[in-house]
Structure 1
Amino acid sequence: MELHDGDAEDLRATSLTFEDGQVVVWHGQTVVARHAQDDVAAVKVIEPGQDDVIEAIRASHANAWAPWTDELDEALLEAADSGRSIDQMAEIFGRKPNAIIQRLKKVRYG
């Protein structure tokens, strides 16, 4: 990230957001930098390798891309049948909400 004052920062990040006139830089669920939007001259994005993507997602979803087992499928169905929300199940199973939705579709409907 280059700033108008000539300063530059190399940051490992998974996303950028724009909040209240600021550029917020995130790595997983952690804010790693915050600058006034007017101070930012440029942002250079370097595409990560697949390992970097998995590592970044696993920072907030520890079991992302881990294989599902019959036991996990049963526990997932029990959690869904007991009324747990998708977000609650994502937290419990350490997976992204969409992974929970897709797995429920697969085990319920094939």
Structure 2
Amino acid sequence: MSPGARLAALGLAAALATGALALLGLGGDKGSPIAYMLGLQAVLIVIGTVFEARYRGRKSVAGAQWQRTSEREIDHETGTTLEVWFDPVTGERRYVPAGQLPG
């Protein structure tokens, strides 16, 4: 998740939490079910945003058995030729500039 998207998600969670607190303070019993749902959504957004980085990518396993494939790609942003490397143990693929080893 990009930093801007992370900030937007946390801003949305803050707005939901503020709305939940306002409904609890002003609505009495009528606003409480909606307030609890808004609060729950705020908590879920915060948890998802904070722990999202944990699943972003895997660290390379020590002793990985990288194998070069015959695939080549062009990075359209930089124009660099990329080679595709594959680790048969984990199934991970890496796109590495031509002539470099995956690290």
Alignment TM-score, normalising by the size of structure 2: 0.30
Q: TM-score, normalised by structure 1?
A: 0.29
Give the number of the structure whose residues are more often helix, by fraction: 2
